Amino acid sequence: MGRTPCCGKVGLMKGTWTQEEDQTLIAYIERNGPGNWRDLPKNAGLLRCGKSCRFRWMNYLKPDIKRGNYSREEEETIIELHDLLGNRWSTIAARLPGRTDNEIKNVWYTHLKRRQKQSSSNSLNCNKIIMENYIELSAMVEPLLQLQFSPVLNGDSECPSDPYHHDNLRSFWLNLLKEAGEYGEDRTIWSRL
């Protein structure tokens, strides 16, 4: 049990719409409004399925549809909304006036999804480089952390045990590691500094 088919599909045209069919559909909707999409093809004199008429009108013939390339802002909006909403194309289309859900879906799968994968892989590569630099810097800092800041045997007053010297060295390495982008990520090294 379920919904009855929209049409018998016997004797109906399939495939590309002709210019005459487009004009017939436009003229009917301008005169009568869309009304019931199941009844529209019969009332308009079209040999098409109601679903096909609705799809043609909503995605191609409706006057307020915006045509042409997407702006950078529109593309960024689609990416952000897709991250937030997933594949809810009609909800995304509601936030982009003049763009249809079908067109947005097509743009996502042909252009934006690929670009997002590339940017996330670039981001992963960048994070990998930062992490490698962090590990390298940590390896350089480790021996310094294990230094005992005790007076030098010759009694030099400028020895590393001087608290001022220790603070400068500590702040130098903290700043260096912060620049590596890992401040707050790995607290083990920070607790030891």
**In the chain, % of residues over pLDDT 90:** 40
Domain 72-119 in CATH: superfamily?
A: Homeodomain-like (1.10.10.60)
Give the model confidence (pLDDT) of 116-175 as tens digits: 776 665 555 555 666 666 666 666 666 655 554 444 444 444 444 444 455 566 666 666
Give the model confidence (pLDDT) of 83-123 as tens digits: 889 999 999 999 999 999 999 999 999 989 887 776 665 55
Compute the distance between CA of residue 60 and CA of residue 54 in angstroms, rounded to an integer.
10
* Within this chain, domains 19-61 and 72-119 share the same CATH topology: yes
What is the pTM (predicted TM-score) of this model? Answer: 0.53
Give the model confidence (pLDDT) of 9-67 as tens digits: 667 888 899 999 999 999 999 999 988 999 999 999 999 999 999 999 998 999 989 98
- Identify which has the larger pLDDT, 180 or 77: 77
Q: Which fold has domain 19-61?
A: Arc Repressor Mutant, subunit A (1.10.10)
- b/e 132-166 (16+ beta carbons within 10 angstroms → b): ebbeebbeebeeeeeeeeeeeeeeeeeeeeeeeee
